[in-house]
Chain A
Amino acid sequence: MATGSGAAAAAADAEEKESGSRMITLTSNEGKAFVVTEASARQSATIRSMVDDGGCVDKGFPLPNVDSKTLARVIQYCDEHGNKEAHTVDERAALAKFDKDFIAELDADKAFLYDVTMAANYLHIQGLFALTTQCIADTIKGKTPEEIRTAFGIEYDLTAQDEEEIKEEDTHA
Protein backbone atom coordinates (compact mmCIF):
# COMPACT_ATOMS: atom_id res chain seq x y z
CA MET A 1 0.00 0.00 0.00
CA ALA A 2 1.33 3.39 -0.94
CA THR A 3 0.97 5.49 2.18
CA GLY A 4 3.78 8.00 2.13
CA SER A 5 4.58 10.51 -0.55
CA GLY A 6 8.11 10.89 -1.78
CA ALA A 7 9.41 8.17 0.46
CA ALA A 8 13.09 7.37 0.38
CA ALA A 9 14.15 4.60 -1.96
CA ALA A 10 15.11 2.32 0.91
CA ALA A 11 11.77 2.81 2.60
CA ALA A 12 9.96 2.15 -0.63
CA ASP A 13 12.00 -0.95 -1.10
CA ALA A 14 11.23 -2.11 2.43
CA GLU A 15 7.59 -1.39 1.91
CA GLU A 16 7.61 -3.25 -1.34
CA LYS A 17 9.27 -6.17 0.38
CA GLU A 18 6.73 -5.96 3.15
CA SER A 19 3.77 -6.04 0.84
CA GLY A 20 5.29 -8.75 -1.26
CA SER A 21 4.74 -6.85 -4.45
CA ARG A 22 8.17 -7.58 -5.88
CA MET A 23 8.22 -10.07 -8.68
CA ILE A 24 10.35 -13.20 -8.58
CA THR A 25 11.26 -15.54 -11.40
CA LEU A 26 11.21 -19.30 -10.88
CA THR A 27 12.64 -21.48 -13.60
CA SER A 28 11.66 -25.10 -14.15
CA ASN A 29 14.14 -27.83 -15.06
CA GLU A 30 12.99 -27.42 -18.64
CA GLY A 31 14.14 -23.83 -18.59
CA LYS A 32 10.68 -22.32 -18.55
CA ALA A 33 10.46 -19.12 -16.49
CA PHE A 34 7.49 -18.36 -14.24
CA VAL A 35 7.15 -14.85 -12.84
CA VAL A 36 5.34 -14.76 -9.50
CA THR A 37 4.74 -12.22 -6.75
CA GLU A 38 7.09 -12.36 -3.81
CA ALA A 39 4.11 -13.10 -1.56
CA SER A 40 3.42 -16.15 -3.67
CA ALA A 41 7.07 -17.25 -3.74
CA ARG A 42 7.32 -16.82 0.03
CA GLN A 43 4.94 -19.73 0.49
CA SER A 44 8.08 -21.75 -0.12
CA ALA A 45 10.32 -21.69 2.94
CA THR A 46 13.22 -22.62 0.68
CA ILE A 47 12.80 -19.56 -1.49
CA ARG A 48 11.79 -17.37 1.45
CA SER A 49 15.07 -18.02 3.24
CA MET A 50 17.04 -17.34 0.09
CA VAL A 51 15.22 -14.05 -0.46
CA ASP A 52 15.73 -13.05 3.18
CA ASP A 53 19.37 -14.07 3.13
CA GLY A 54 19.94 -11.35 0.62
CA GLY A 55 19.15 -11.08 -2.69
CA CYS A 56 19.49 -13.24 -5.64
CA VAL A 57 15.99 -12.03 -6.38
CA ASP A 58 16.99 -10.33 -9.59
CA LYS A 59 18.62 -13.41 -11.00
CA GLY A 60 15.65 -15.58 -10.21
CA PHE A 61 15.62 -19.11 -8.91
CA PRO A 62 16.34 -22.15 -11.04
CA LEU A 63 14.52 -25.22 -9.76
CA PRO A 64 16.40 -28.19 -11.22
CA ASN A 65 14.13 -30.75 -9.53
CA VAL A 66 10.80 -29.41 -10.74
CA ASP A 67 9.35 -29.75 -14.24
CA SER A 68 7.15 -27.10 -15.84
CA LYS A 69 3.85 -28.89 -15.41
CA THR A 70 4.48 -29.46 -11.70
CA LEU A 71 5.81 -25.97 -11.12
CA ALA A 72 2.75 -24.42 -12.77
CA ARG A 73 0.49 -26.37 -10.43
CA VAL A 74 2.58 -25.55 -7.36
CA ILE A 75 2.49 -21.86 -8.29
CA GLN A 76 -1.28 -22.09 -8.60
CA TYR A 77 -1.37 -23.13 -4.94
CA CYS A 78 1.16 -20.49 -3.86
CA ASP A 79 -0.69 -17.72 -5.70
CA GLU A 80 -3.93 -18.60 -3.99
CA HIS A 81 -2.39 -18.77 -0.53
CA GLY A 82 0.16 -16.01 -0.95
CA ASN A 83 -1.80 -13.37 -2.79
CA LYS A 84 -5.21 -13.72 -1.17
CA GLU A 85 -6.28 -12.58 2.24
CA ALA A 86 -7.58 -15.07 4.77
CA HIS A 87 -8.94 -12.81 7.49
CA THR A 88 -12.67 -13.16 7.24
CA VAL A 89 -14.68 -16.34 7.57
CA ASP A 90 -15.66 -16.09 3.90
CA GLU A 91 -12.05 -15.69 2.79
CA ARG A 92 -10.98 -18.68 4.80
CA ALA A 93 -13.87 -20.72 3.45
CA ALA A 94 -12.87 -19.77 -0.09
CA LEU A 95 -9.30 -20.95 0.58
CA ALA A 96 -10.55 -24.20 2.09
CA LYS A 97 -12.73 -24.72 -0.97
CA PHE A 98 -9.71 -24.06 -3.19
CA ASP A 99 -7.65 -26.62 -1.27
CA LYS A 100 -10.41 -29.18 -1.53
CA ASP A 101 -10.76 -28.81 -5.30
CA PHE A 102 -6.99 -28.59 -5.72
CA ILE A 103 -6.33 -31.88 -3.93
CA ALA A 104 -9.32 -33.61 -5.55
CA GLU A 105 -7.72 -33.05 -8.95
CA LEU A 106 -4.38 -34.44 -7.75
CA ASP A 107 -6.11 -37.34 -6.07
CA ALA A 108 -7.46 -38.36 -9.47
CA ASP A 109 -3.96 -38.32 -11.01
CA LYS A 110 -1.64 -40.16 -8.64
CA ALA A 111 1.47 -39.68 -10.82
CA PHE A 112 0.95 -35.93 -10.70
CA LEU A 113 0.22 -36.10 -6.97
CA TYR A 114 3.64 -37.70 -6.57
CA ASP A 115 5.40 -34.92 -8.50
CA VAL A 116 3.60 -32.17 -6.61
CA THR A 117 4.35 -33.85 -3.27
CA MET A 118 8.03 -34.10 -4.14
CA ALA A 119 8.08 -30.46 -5.21
CA ALA A 120 6.26 -29.32 -2.06
CA ASN A 121 8.79 -31.23 0.01
CA TYR A 122 11.76 -29.85 -1.92
CA LEU A 123 10.46 -26.28 -1.81
CA HIS A 124 9.24 -26.61 1.79
CA ILE A 125 5.73 -25.41 1.10
CA GLN A 126 4.25 -26.49 4.38
CA GLY A 127 0.56 -26.16 3.60
CA LEU A 128 0.80 -27.89 0.26
CA PHE A 129 2.97 -30.66 1.68
CA ALA A 130 0.45 -31.26 4.46
CA LEU A 131 -2.33 -31.34 1.90
CA THR A 132 -0.66 -33.87 -0.39
CA THR A 133 0.71 -36.17 2.32
CA GLN A 134 -2.72 -36.24 3.97
CA CYS A 135 -4.21 -37.17 0.60
CA ILE A 136 -1.70 -40.03 0.34
CA ALA A 137 -2.52 -41.21 3.86
CA ASP A 138 -6.26 -40.99 3.17
CA THR A 139 -5.80 -43.11 0.07
CA ILE A 140 -4.04 -45.77 2.14
CA LYS A 141 -6.46 -45.80 5.09
CA GLY A 142 -8.60 -48.90 5.36
CA LYS A 143 -7.18 -50.49 2.21
CA THR A 144 -5.52 -53.87 1.85
CA PRO A 145 -1.93 -53.91 0.53
CA GLU A 146 -3.27 -55.11 -2.83
CA GLU A 147 -5.74 -52.22 -3.01
CA ILE A 148 -2.97 -49.78 -2.10
CA ARG A 149 -0.79 -51.19 -4.90
CA THR A 150 -3.63 -50.72 -7.37
CA ALA A 151 -4.34 -47.18 -6.17
CA PHE A 152 -0.73 -46.08 -6.67
CA GLY A 153 0.22 -48.35 -9.55
CA ILE A 154 2.86 -50.22 -7.57
CA GLU A 155 4.20 -53.58 -8.70
CA TYR A 156 4.30 -56.43 -6.22
CA ASP A 157 7.98 -57.10 -5.56
CA LEU A 158 8.06 -58.66 -2.10
CA THR A 159 10.06 -61.85 -1.76
CA ALA A 160 8.81 -64.98 -0.03
CA GLN A 161 11.11 -64.07 2.84
CA ASP A 162 9.51 -60.61 3.15
CA GLU A 163 6.08 -62.22 3.24
CA GLU A 164 7.25 -64.57 5.97
CA GLU A 165 8.61 -61.69 8.04
CA ILE A 166 5.40 -59.70 7.61
CA LYS A 167 3.36 -62.64 8.90
CA GLU A 168 5.74 -62.98 11.81
CA GLU A 169 5.48 -59.29 12.73
CA ASP A 170 1.72 -59.35 12.42
CA THR A 171 1.59 -62.20 14.88
CA HIS A 172 3.74 -60.40 17.41
CA ALA A 173 2.22 -56.98 16.93
Chain B
Amino acid sequence: MGIGLSKATPTAAPAAPPPASRQPLWSDLPTDLAGVVLLRLPSHADRVRFGSVCRQWRHAATTAPPPLPPALPWLNFHDGTLQSFPGGERRRFSSLNRHTICAGSTAAGWLLFRRPGHGPRRRHYLKNPLTGEVVRLPGHCHCDDPSRLRRHHPPGSPTAYFYIRKVIVCGGGGLVVARISYSHDNADDVVACCRPGTSPSWSAGP
Protein backbone atom coordinates (compact mmCIF):
# COMPACT_ATOMS: atom_id res chain seq x y z
CA MET B 1 0.00 0.00 0.00
CA GLY B 2 1.26 3.35 -0.98
CA ILE B 3 4.64 2.06 -1.92
CA GLY B 4 4.35 2.68 -5.59
CA LEU B 5 4.13 -0.93 -6.60
CA SER B 6 0.43 -0.69 -7.19
CA LYS B 7 0.58 2.67 -8.89
CA ALA B 8 2.14 1.43 -12.09
CA THR B 9 0.27 -0.55 -14.64
CA PRO B 10 2.00 -3.86 -14.92
CA THR B 11 1.52 -3.98 -18.63
CA ALA B 12 2.86 -0.51 -19.27
CA ALA B 13 5.37 -0.24 -22.06
CA PRO B 14 8.85 -0.77 -20.71
CA ALA B 15 10.22 2.59 -19.68
CA ALA B 16 13.50 2.57 -21.48
CA PRO B 17 16.07 4.09 -19.16
CA PRO B 18 17.70 6.90 -21.10
CA PRO B 19 21.30 6.70 -19.90
CA ALA B 20 22.27 10.12 -21.18
CA SER B 21 19.46 12.05 -19.55
CA ARG B 22 20.01 10.63 -16.07
CA GLN B 23 23.46 12.16 -15.80
CA PRO B 24 22.94 14.27 -12.67
CA LEU B 25 22.64 11.31 -10.35
CA TRP B 26 24.14 12.05 -6.97
CA SER B 27 23.31 15.75 -7.10
CA ASP B 28 19.66 14.60 -7.09
CA LEU B 29 20.07 12.59 -3.88
CA PRO B 30 16.61 12.66 -2.26
CA THR B 31 16.39 14.51 1.02
CA ASP B 32 15.22 11.52 3.05
CA LEU B 33 18.09 9.41 1.76
CA ALA B 34 20.55 12.20 2.50
CA GLY B 35 19.16 12.22 6.03
CA VAL B 36 20.02 8.54 6.43
CA VAL B 37 23.56 9.16 5.20
CA LEU B 38 23.94 12.15 7.55
CA LEU B 39 22.91 9.92 10.45
CA ARG B 40 25.93 7.80 9.59
CA LEU B 41 28.23 10.82 9.84
CA PRO B 42 28.79 11.47 13.54
CA SER B 43 31.55 13.99 12.95
CA HIS B 44 30.54 17.61 12.88
CA ALA B 45 33.15 18.37 10.23
CA ASP B 46 31.79 15.73 7.83
CA ARG B 47 28.27 17.08 8.22
CA VAL B 48 29.39 20.60 7.44
CA ARG B 49 31.29 19.37 4.37
CA PHE B 50 28.27 17.35 3.27
CA GLY B 51 26.27 20.58 3.21
CA SER B 52 28.93 22.30 1.11
CA VAL B 53 28.93 19.84 -1.81
CA CYS B 54 26.11 21.17 -4.00
CA ARG B 55 22.74 22.88 -3.74
CA GLN B 56 20.65 19.74 -3.32
CA TRP B 57 22.95 18.29 -0.66
CA ARG B 58 22.99 21.63 1.05
CA HIS B 59 19.22 21.73 1.01
CA ALA B 60 19.12 18.18 2.34
CA ALA B 61 21.64 18.90 5.10
CA THR B 62 19.67 21.90 6.32
CA THR B 63 16.22 20.35 6.09
CA ALA B 64 16.91 16.64 6.50
CA PRO B 65 14.31 14.90 8.63
CA PRO B 66 14.66 13.48 11.21
CA PRO B 67 16.52 16.21 13.03
CA LEU B 68 20.10 15.11 13.44
CA PRO B 69 21.33 14.47 16.93
CA PRO B 70 24.09 16.87 17.91
CA ALA B 71 27.54 15.60 17.05
CA LEU B 72 28.30 15.83 20.75
CA PRO B 73 28.31 15.63 23.77
CA TRP B 74 31.12 13.41 24.90
CA LEU B 75 30.93 11.59 28.17
CA ASN B 76 33.98 11.79 30.38
CA PHE B 77 34.51 8.67 32.48
CA HIS B 78 37.47 10.12 34.41
CA ASP B 79 39.38 6.91 33.81
CA GLY B 80 40.99 8.15 30.65
CA THR B 81 38.12 7.22 28.36
CA LEU B 82 35.55 9.33 26.64
CA GLN B 83 32.47 8.20 24.83
CA SER B 84 31.03 9.96 21.82
CA PHE B 85 27.42 10.02 20.75
CA PRO B 86 25.61 8.96 18.66
CA GLY B 87 28.40 6.67 17.49
CA GLY B 88 28.82 5.35 20.98
CA GLU B 89 32.47 4.54 20.52
CA ARG B 90 34.49 4.84 23.69
CA ARG B 91 37.92 6.32 23.15
CA ARG B 92 40.97 6.19 25.32
CA PHE B 93 43.47 8.97 25.56
CA SER B 94 46.91 7.86 26.67
CA SER B 95 47.76 11.34 27.86
CA LEU B 96 44.73 11.42 30.09
CA ASN B 97 45.25 10.48 33.71
CA ARG B 98 43.13 11.17 36.71
CA HIS B 99 44.81 14.54 37.17
CA THR B 100 43.84 15.63 33.69
CA ILE B 101 40.28 16.73 33.58
CA CYS B 102 37.95 17.22 30.69
CA ALA B 103 36.53 20.60 31.52
CA GLY B 104 33.92 20.76 28.81
CA SER B 105 33.06 20.26 25.20
CA THR B 106 31.80 22.48 22.42
CA ALA B 107 29.34 21.98 19.58
CA ALA B 108 32.19 21.88 17.09
CA GLY B 109 33.56 18.72 18.68
CA TRP B 110 36.33 20.13 20.83
CA LEU B 111 37.13 18.91 24.30
CA LEU B 112 38.89 21.12 26.82
CA PHE B 113 41.60 19.52 28.91
CA ARG B 114 43.35 20.86 31.95
CA ARG B 115 46.62 19.27 32.96
CA PRO B 116 48.31 20.31 36.19
CA GLY B 117 52.05 20.61 36.70
CA HIS B 118 53.11 21.26 33.15
CA GLY B 119 53.69 24.97 33.37
CA PRO B 120 51.09 27.55 32.44
CA ARG B 121 51.75 27.42 28.72
CA ARG B 122 50.85 23.78 28.36
CA ARG B 123 48.15 23.60 30.96
CA HIS B 124 44.97 24.20 29.00
CA TYR B 125 44.43 22.75 25.60
CA LEU B 126 41.63 21.81 23.23
CA LYS B 127 41.55 18.48 21.54
CA ASN B 128 39.28 17.20 18.80
CA PRO B 129 38.94 13.50 19.65
CA LEU B 130 37.80 12.61 16.14
CA THR B 131 40.67 14.20 14.27
CA GLY B 132 43.27 14.17 17.05
CA GLU B 133 43.90 17.86 16.43
CA VAL B 134 45.24 19.75 19.46
CA VAL B 135 45.05 23.50 20.04
CA ARG B 136 47.15 24.91 22.86
CA LEU B 137 45.55 27.80 24.67
CA PRO B 138 47.48 30.83 25.99
CA GLY B 139 48.91 30.30 29.46
CA HIS B 140 48.52 33.90 30.53
CA CYS B 141 45.58 36.20 30.97
CA HIS B 142 45.33 39.96 30.87
CA CYS B 143 42.98 41.16 33.53
CA ASP B 144 41.60 44.71 33.70
CA ASP B 145 40.70 44.46 37.36
CA PRO B 146 43.81 43.91 39.56
CA SER B 147 41.65 43.54 42.68
CA ARG B 148 40.62 40.13 41.39
CA LEU B 149 44.18 38.86 41.19
CA ARG B 150 46.42 37.45 43.90
CA ARG B 151 48.09 39.88 46.22
CA HIS B 152 51.55 41.05 45.14
CA HIS B 153 50.69 40.56 41.47
CA PRO B 154 52.58 43.20 39.45
CA PRO B 155 49.97 45.58 38.02
CA GLY B 156 49.52 45.53 34.26
CA SER B 157 51.22 42.18 33.68
CA PRO B 158 49.31 39.06 32.67
CA THR B 159 48.68 36.37 35.22
CA ALA B 160 49.32 32.67 34.85
CA TYR B 161 47.00 31.84 37.72
CA PHE B 162 43.60 31.18 36.25
CA TYR B 163 41.33 28.24 35.51
CA ILE B 164 39.11 27.74 32.51
CA ARG B 165 35.64 26.61 33.57
CA LYS B 166 33.83 26.51 30.27
CA VAL B 167 34.89 27.13 26.71
CA ILE B 168 33.19 27.92 23.40
CA VAL B 169 35.01 27.58 20.08
CA CYS B 170 33.71 29.93 17.41
CA GLY B 171 34.52 27.83 14.34
CA GLY B 172 36.29 29.29 11.33
CA GLY B 173 37.37 32.58 12.85
CA GLY B 174 39.45 30.75 15.47
CA LEU B 175 38.01 32.80 18.31
CA VAL B 176 37.78 31.01 21.65
CA VAL B 177 35.62 32.39 24.44
CA ALA B 178 35.95 31.07 27.97
CA ARG B 179 34.56 31.48 31.44
CA ILE B 180 37.55 31.70 33.76
CA SER B 181 38.28 32.23 37.42
CA TYR B 182 41.52 33.28 39.07
CA SER B 183 41.60 30.67 41.79
CA HIS B 184 40.36 27.16 42.35
CA ASP B 185 37.70 28.03 44.88
CA ASN B 186 36.64 31.31 43.35
CA ALA B 187 33.15 31.16 41.94
CA ASP B 188 33.37 34.75 40.76
CA ASP B 189 34.01 34.00 37.10
CA VAL B 190 34.75 36.36 34.24
CA VAL B 191 34.56 35.99 30.48
CA ALA B 192 37.81 35.95 28.51
CA CYS B 193 38.65 35.48 24.87
CA CYS B 194 41.66 34.67 22.72
CA ARG B 195 42.70 33.56 19.26
CA PRO B 196 44.93 30.51 19.73
CA GLY B 197 48.14 30.84 17.76
CA THR B 198 47.58 34.58 17.36
CA SER B 199 46.91 36.01 20.82
CA PRO B 200 49.82 35.60 23.27
CA SER B 201 47.35 35.75 26.17
CA TRP B 202 43.68 35.80 27.09
CA SER B 203 41.84 39.08 27.39
CA ALA B 204 39.50 39.02 30.33
CA GLY B 205 36.55 41.30 30.90
CA PRO B 206 35.84 42.98 34.23
Where the two chains meet, the residues of A that have a C-beta atom closer than 8 Å to any C-beta of B are: 27, 29-31, 46, 50, 59, 61-65, 67, 110-111, 114, 117-118, 121-122, 124, 129, 133-134, 136-137, 140-145, 148-149, 152-159, 162, 166-167, 169-173
Contacts and interface: CB of A to CB of B under 8 A. Distances in A.
A141 B41 contact: yes
A131 to B, nearest CB: 11
A67 B17 contact: yes
Nearest to A129: B36
A111 to B, nearest CB: 6
B14 A148 contact: no
Nearest to B19: A111
Given A158-B55, A170-B172, A133 B33 contact: yes
A29 B15 contact: yes
A62 B5 contact: yes
A110 B10 contact: no
A59 B9 CA distance: 13
B108 interface: yes
A158 B10 CA distance: 40
Given A64-B4, A133-B37, A155-B27, A170 B55 contact: no
A141 to B, nearest CB: 6
Contacts of A142: 46
Contacts of B48: 166, 169-170, 173
Contacts of B10: 27, 59, 62
10 contacts: A122-B3, A129-B36, A136-B37, A136-B40, A145-B53, A152-B27, A154-B27, A158-B52, A158-B54, A166-B52
Chain B interface, >50% SS class: loop
Contact of A143 (B25, B29, B33, B49): B49
A55 B40 CA distance: 37
Contacts of B27: 152, 154-155, 157
B170 A171 contact: yes
B132 to A, nearest CB: 12
Contact of A65 (B4, B14, B43, B173): B4
Contact of A122 (B4, B36, B49): B4
B58 A162 contact: yes
Contacts of B44: 173
A155 B54 contact: yes
A172 B170 CA distance: 6
B187 interface: no
B146 to A, nearest CB: 34
Given A30-B17, A141-B41, A154 B26 contact: yes
A157 B54 contact: yes
Nearest 7 A/B pairs, CB to CB: A64-B8, A137-B40, A152-B26, A62-B10, A145-B52, A31-B14, A30-B14
Contacts of A110: 25-26
A166 B47 CA distance: 12
B117 interface: no
Contacts of B46: 140-142
B94 to A, nearest CB: 22
Contacts of A167: 172
Contact of A153 (B4, B25, B40, B107): B25
A124 B148 CA distance: 64
